[in-house]
Chain A
């Protein structure tokens, strides 16, 4: 994937995606381009310097000099950060989606990711009779460890949405156009599935050719945040929208086999136990605002000695 020649006129380099070629080959009419979107995948807006000493013409000089990569065919890796239209041109703040780690049950593991224990042996029990488990420490649940087989336990992932600025009071109401009521969750389908906080599996929308499963979640996993105080439990400083709560179930492959751990992962020590692990990312994207957050997750399976 080289850079495009930007020495002359602006040119456009276009390719069909792998998914597009697949639909074209099906020949059932599903290859029908009906809409377009624009994106700015390469742009780093931190380069925007609105205090440039040479004046406003130079604020974005570094952005405009950004070299652009050739188009590539992976549909999952293209057009990632879309441009969006809002009717108002006066918006100064836009909502974000943040991982809420304020409660013990929603914290990440101290190792820096959410841990998914993929089988009962790895989960453990409260009587701590299982020497191979990582889910309990002296009968106390370990923060950040989600039970991927049983989907029991108190730990889950929580994301809060809203304007994260102390410049605006949380008592202000978030504009309905900016208030998410649904999210898209992407997860590697070989590794896990999405469930509600209560352990009910959510059906995926579709699985793409790269094994990425797409879930659209709303009622049941998404609720409005009504707390407009500055309580410790809140992670968004300004006006709040919705929160998304879910767990991750382990796939059958991870639950019953070490094959994918050998192929994709490694071994490490967790909570004093030797485990096989696979690191992955779960991406959550707001349906309205398109804001996305990548959640680091580690699937672990105890090594039975």
Chain B
């Protein structure tokens, strides 16, 4: 078509690339995890390597996968030799998660999770770990640093776990995160008393949160040695160590779910945008090819030739050099265009 339908964009002046970070709050109440739907929203697998949690009974097409729970035990763990149930699977899970999240040392050996992230300095390691792997549906591009908050029931009794509660947060996440992981940035999780005083001391390190990977690695000791007395993790009044050694991963996952009181974080979406400034001068786009624009051949919006031509913009089309329509934008209401007006219409395309 004639160039009078199209106006070229000056790439240097009319096109701008921008980047915006959007955040959504993701609140997960504990009842979704452990009560509202019974176990209909909990999916266990024959392989027994992990357990999936859905926001609705998972047989429904409306259900969304929200996170997985699994447990791993390092070969260097003090309890490893005592693990009598799924020992190899718990080791495999630990090693798999460690090689992805912590990486390898210079000899190619898989490194263990480090309590304070200072791998080179040695120090305390997290050898018995429960993992919460969040679905990308929730975390999007990453978990926003400094927003992770997991409240766990810490009462010793199994039947009434939430009388005393502890709050686990990445309190230093917004300004104290670490970058020595192969999967991006991570923060240290700290536990504080939220109700009651069950912790041996506030601000105890209890795990790691990997922001881009969307994985929370929680030490099992948060239910045991870090409390004034171990929490009972099942109806047999076993502590977490007993569950990890004598029960399978599914039972460990059930034990954790039973004590999740609340979980929330903000996610982050990195929005890359191109902004196109469509500049419409006074002498442009004043006539229309709309079939109703003419009556016979006469322009409806003019009664004599000296009247200003008028058109009404509802749509912006963005084209390539071959005049192929690549994007469209609609105005929420018609915009009157005549030869005594000029506009700059700002069209933003997000990627």
Q: Contacts A79-B315, A164-B297, A165-B297: A17 and B325 contacting too (C-beta < 8 A)?
A: yes
Q: Tell me whether A45 and B283 are in contact (CB under 8 A).
A: no
Residues of A within 8 A of B6 (CB): 35-37
Which residue of the partner chain A has the closest CB to B11?
A34
Q: Tell me whether A63 and B326 are in contact (CB under 8 A).
A: no
How many Å lie between the Cα of A86 and that of B278 in the bound state?
A: 18
How many Å lie between the Cα of A89 and that of B309 in the bound state?
A: 6
Instruction: Verify if A54 is at the interface (C-beta below 8 Å from B).
Output: no
Q: Contacts A43-B290, A81-B288, A92-B305: A10 and B331 contacting too (C-beta < 8 A)?
A: yes
Residues of A within 8 A of B325 (CB): 17, 19-20, 75, 78-79
Q: Contacts A15-B327, A69-B330, A91-B287: A40 and B313 contacting too (C-beta < 8 A)?
A: yes
Q: Which of A32, A95, A288 contacts B321 (CB 8 A)?
A: A32
Interface band, chain A: 35 or more
Residues of A within 8 A of B330 (CB): 4, 12-14, 68-71
Residues of B within 8 A of A33 (CB): 9, 15, 274, 276, 318-320, 326-327
How many Å lie between the Cα of A37 and that of B316 in the bound state?
A: 6
**Chain A positions 160 through 190: 1 when the CB is less than 8 Å from some CB of chain B, otherwise 0:** 0011110100000000000000001000000
Residues of A within 8 A of B295 (CB): 46
Total contacting residues, chain B, CB less than 8 A: 74
Q: Tell me whether A93 and B298 are in contact (CB under 8 A).
A: yes
How many Å lie between the Cα of A293 and that of B347 in the bound state?
A: 30
How many Å lie between the Cα of A85 and that of B337 in the bound state?
A: 11
Q: Tell me whether A95 and B297 are in contact (CB under 8 A).
A: yes
Rounded to whole Å, the gap between the CB of A147 and the closest CB of chain B is 31
Q: Tell me whether B302 and A85 are in contact (CB under 8 A).
A: no
Q: Contacts A83-B288, A292-B291: A37 and B317 contacting too (C-beta < 8 A)?
A: yes
Q: Contacts A31-B320, A36-B319: A85 and B284 contacting too (C-beta < 8 A)?
A: yes
- Cβ < 8 Å to B, chain A residues 36-68: 36-46, 48, 50, 59-60, 63-64, 66-68
Secondary structure of the B contact surface, majority rule: strand
Q: Tell me whether A164 and B327 are in contact (CB under 8 A).
A: no
How many Å lie between the Cα of A290 and that of B289 in the bound state?
A: 6
Q: Tell me whether A40 and B314 are in contact (CB under 8 A).
A: yes
How many Å lie between the Cα of A138 and that of B74 in the bound state?
A: 95
Q: Tell me whether A19 and B326 are in contact (CB under 8 A).
A: yes
Q: Tell me whether B348 and A14 are in contact (CB under 8 A).
A: yes
Rounded to whole Å, the gap between the CB of A243 and the closest CB of chain B is 16
Residues of B within 8 A of A5 (CB): 332
Most buried by A among B290, B298, B322: B290
- Cβ < 8 Å to A, chain B residues 1-53: 1-2, 4-9, 11, 15
Most buried by B among A6, A10, A37, A285: A37
Q: Which of A14, A32, A82, A290 contacts B347 (CB 8 A)?
A: A14
Instruction: Verify if A263 is at the interface (C-beta below 8 Å from B).
Output: no
Residues of A within 8 A of B306 (CB): 90
Rounded to whole Å, the gap between the CB of B337 and the closest CB of chain A is 7
Most buried by A among B15, B274, B320, B346: B320
Rounded to whole Å, the gap between the CB of A223 and the closest CB of chain B is 20
How many Å lie between the Cα of A34 and that of B300 in the bound state?
A: 32
Q: Contacts A12-B346, A84-B4, A92-B304: A43 and B297 contacting too (C-beta < 8 A)?
A: no
Rounded to whole Å, the gap between the CB of B310 and the closest CB of chain A is 7
Jot down 5 A-B pairs with beta carbons below 8 A, ordered by A.
Answer: A36-B7, A40-B312, A94-B297, A288-B1, A292-B289
| 10 tightest A-B CB contacts, nearest first | A290-B289, A20-B326, A79-B317, A14-B329, A81-B290, A83-B285, A4-B332, A39-B315, A92-B305, A45-B292
